[in-house]
Every structure is written in C-alpha cells, then in structure tokens.
Amino acid sequence: MQTFISFGNWTELGVREIKNSTQRLDSSKAFAKQIGGEILHFYLTMGEFDMVIVAEFPDDSSAALFLLHITKSGAARFKTHKAFPEPEYRELMRGLG
C-alpha cells in the first residue's frame, strides 16, 4: 500500500453545508474501502488548511480516483502528496551508498 497525505480546504459550498461534513467523511471512508484503500487518519486543523487526511491506496490511480470522488461534490479542494513511511525512507537512504 502507498501512503498519501491530503491537505484540504472547504469551498464556499462546503462551508454553507458544514453540518453535512461528517456524512461526507463517512461516505469518503466507505468509498476508500470500496476501491481497496483506507483513510487512516482525519484531522480537523487550524491554520492554512481546514483538514488533513492520511490514507493508503494500492496505487496512484486508486488515490486519484478517491480524490476525484471526494472533490466532485464541490465541498472541498485538496492538495495531495505521496508519502514514504519511515521504513521506505530508510531503504531509500541505504541506496545512497
């Protein structure tokens, strides 16, 4: 599984419909599982971003499909980064010689 960290902000529509936010999160979790992934962590944050999602997916295509699914409602926009967990980081560093 590959790890992805997404930083999100509610759009104007998302703020207007903020009371439905938990239902959208539940739907997103179910869709992630449906396509072979999992939302590992969700954080409501203060600062530049409104929320952070840490998720795992089998591949980049699954992650992209998930992001398209959660943004199609127009309630939020995300910036996503592929992440390498510590064991993978250490393996990469060993390759430096």
The distance from CA 15 to its chain's CA centroid, rounded to whole angstroms, is 19
Closest CA to 53 of 81, 90, 94: 81
Q: Say yes or no to pLDDT of 58 above 90.
A: yes
Give the pLDDT band of residue 82 (cuts 50, 70, 90): very high
- Would the pTM of this model clear 0.75, i.e. be above it? yes
pLDDT at position 97: 78
User: How far is the C-alpha of 66 from the C-alpha of 40, rounded, in Å?
Assistant: 14
Mean pLDDT in residue range 79-83:
97
Mean pLDDT in residue range 13-40:
97
Domains and CATH numbers, the chain: 2-94 (3.30.70.100)
* CB environment 6-21: b (16+ within 10 A), e (fewer): bbbebeeebeebeeeb
